[in-house]
Amino acid sequence: MTDTVLPLRNAETPMGVEQLVKTAAPAPEQAAVKLIYVAGYGRSGTTLLDIALGEHPAIMGAGEVTTLARHVWDNGEYCACGARVRDCPEWKAIVARWVQGEPEGFLARYRRTQERTEGLVAPGRLLRWPGWRDHKRRTLKLLRGMAMVSERPILVDSSKLPGRAFALAAMPGIDLHVVHVVRDGRGVAWSLMKGHRRSVESGVQRELRPKPLLYTALRWSMVNLAAEMLCRRVGAKRSIRVRYEDFVDDPRGIIGRIVALVGEEPHIPATDLAPFEPQHQVAGSRHRMQKSLTIRDDDKWKREMPGWKQRLFTLLCAPLLRRYGYSLRSGDGS
């Protein structure tokens, strides 16, 4: 039976969390929050990359942060640690600090502002509508709280959609770095053709229906082109493109390049690469609910996806496939 989820209000701050909120010294307001934003299309390994980065002692892998106010908190969804986000000590402390001093109905109001500001074409952001200034302040407040509670100065947000990152890039106080993750679109399309039933405990928050190939081809192209625009927006020194297939082949090297982007030293051992352990990621792939994850290539699509579907996707997306270094021959994704 699912527990009843009630809204968190200031008066309902959990014991222990209230003391943490009152006594913890806030981060210096002049210090920018260092944020790694993972952009790309779904089923491309973004959650796995988030988990791998989160094992660095200076980095909090937070999952898809955009979903915290959208549905994760109100719906009582699960943290990768195995507890509901409302019961996870880390997120409970973060949200308690975030809502402190905010008006009644804060999360619903914040969610509505997200809808107006986090799209690629977002009037609230582009026209600086009333509420944008408060939204910037509250977003920065959330990120500072995450860094303070986790005691990790670098955050990972794997929300994927470039529109959110464009909003973050427009917020002073955020030192934004972008990782554009791309996977062979034929593998993405084949994965999305398989649906999943809703299973909150397993990390599937809603029923995932199969997606038609034409839909995926269009969305895969649009999202990746937007991610390229995002990388140009933040600049070459603050962005990097990572192919899922390269990450699988050389996780140590890819993670090393990403942490170097934010000025950190690699943390993965030179030998005996151990399975990655999910920590406090919210939303994202259902695989985050596993106790450990071993990196392995998922190339079943090359053998199982009907040849005509491979050829059709290739025809529709050939320019981008070629640009990202993928073969245009069916069954050959390298």
* Element at 72 (helix H, strand E): none
Quote the pLDDT of residue 13: 39
Phi, psi of 177 (to 5 degrees): -125, 140
In sequence order, the β-bridge partners of residue 179 are 38, 240
Instruction: Return the exposure string of 188-215: e unless at least 16 CB atoms fall within 10 Å of the residue's CB, then b.
Output: bbbbbeeeeeeeeeebebeeeeebebee
- Between CA 298 and CA 302, with CA 299 as vertex, the angle to 5 degrees is 155
Which residue numbers in the chain have pLDDT < 50? 1-28, 196
Report the alpha-carbon distance of residue 285 to residue 78 in Å, rounded. 12
Tokens matching residue 42: 């779904």
Residue 198: predicted pLDDT: 55
> Cβ distance 32 to 263 under 8 Å?
no
Task: Kindly list the distances between the CA atom of residue 26 and the CA atoms of 22, 31, 98, 141, 160, in Å, as whole numbers in the listed order.
Answer: 10, 11, 12, 10, 29
What is residue 268's predicted lDDT score, i.e. its pLDDT? 77
Pairs from 304-309 (Cβ < 8 Å, separation ≥ 24): 304/190, 305/186, 305/189, 305/190, 307/331, 309/186, 309/189, 309/190, 309/213
What pLDDT is stored for residue 129 in this prediction? Answer: 83
| Separation of alpha carbons 91 and 97, rounded Å | 10
N residues, the chain: 334
pLDDT at 311: 97
User: What pLDDT score was predicted for residue 205?
Assistant: 60
Q: Token pair for residue 141?
A: 């407040």
